[in-house]
Amino acid sequence: MIRVTAWNEFRHEKVNEKVRAIYPDGIHHTIAAHLQQAGFAARTATLDEPDHGLSEAVLAETDVLTWWGHMAHHEVRDDIVERVFQRLMYGMGLIVLHSAHYSKIFRRLMGTTCNLKWREAAERERIWVIEPGHPIAEGLGDYFEIPHAEMYGERFDIPAPDTLVFISWFEGGEVFRSGCCYQRGRGRVFYFRPGHETFPIYHQPEVQRVIANAVRWAAPHTIAPTPVVNAKEPLEKIGK
């Protein structure tokens, strides 16, 4: 059984009634509950727990980590980011959600600014499936819609994804690469755009479906490092 840890900075839900109305126990609980129903072993972790809930022990039991953050990216400790990074290099999967495009861990993995255009206007988003044969698109039709979304627009300053699964159309006139697959080290990374905290997006079945598909895709077959090796003894004779 794939073991998932759903991480959330869990701040908006405490300070904003509108957010609390949608996610009473926090976004992490909504995500973890759905993943449990989908057949995964899901736990949660949040910013204000010791080590942000991401001890070595927790990560050692995590196959895939989902990450939601927005207002407190800078409060995430650098040594914990490094710990997540190392685990990912060994094979752990990472699902990066919405505003976590600006999290320390995602920017570290991308090697770019991760800048983008944005607008809060509760506009319609239509997410088009670009690679219908990809496992992350399993069960979807040609597209699905988010009735009210925060807009993210191109140029999104990321490396070109290894596979681009979704492109969003926005009512206000922009487009966005909304589902982006990356291999980094032995780990797999999926960036998924939807998820603004003031809309009930993580209660939407298509969004839940994509997250479950992405967890399955990102789960590692092995957790092992790729070390520096002084290969002193050649495999073949040299200088014959």
- Give the footprint of a second copy on residues 149-188 (CB under 8 A): 151, 153-155, 157, 159-160, 162-164, 167-175, 177, 182-188
Helix (H, G, I), strand (E, B) or coil at 70: coil
Contacts of residue 85, Cβ cutoff 8 Å, sequence gap at least 6: 105, 108, 109
Rounded to whole angstroms, the Cα distance separating 92 from 188 reads: 7
Q: Does 74 bind a second copy (CB under 8 A)?
A: no
Helix (H, G, I), strand (E, B) or coil at 186: coil
How many residues sit close enough to a second copy to count as binding (CB under 8 A)?
A: 74
Which of the ranges 43-51, 74-82, 105-113, 195-203 carries the binding residues for a second copy, by CB under 8 A? 105-113
Residue appearing with tokens 């650098």: 78
Q: Does 57 bind a second copy (CB under 8 A)?
A: no
Return the structure tokens found at 189: 């990374």
Q: Which of 96, 110, 201, 210 binds a second copy (CB under 8 A)?
A: 110
Rank residues 50 and 234 by Cβ distance to a second copy and give the closer one.
234
CA distances from 6 to 54, 153, 161, 171, 233 (A): 11, 26, 23, 31, 44
Q: Does 15 bind a second copy (CB under 8 A)?
A: no
Residue appearing with tokens 């002193």: 232
Q: Does 38 bind a second copy (CB under 8 A)?
A: no
DSSP state of 124: E
Q: How far is the CB of 78 from a second copy (least distance, A)?
A: 12
Q: How far is the CB of 153 from a second copy (least distance, A)?
A: 6
User: Contact letters (x/-) for a second copy, 114-143, by CB under 8 A?
Assistant: -xxxxx-xxxx-x-xxxxxxxx--xx--x-
Q: How far is the CB of 222 from a second copy (least distance, A)?
A: 7
Which of the ranges 30-38, 70-78, 110-118, 201-209 carries the binding residues for a second copy, by CB under 8 A? 110-118
Angle at 239 between CA 234 and CA 240, to 5 degrees: 110
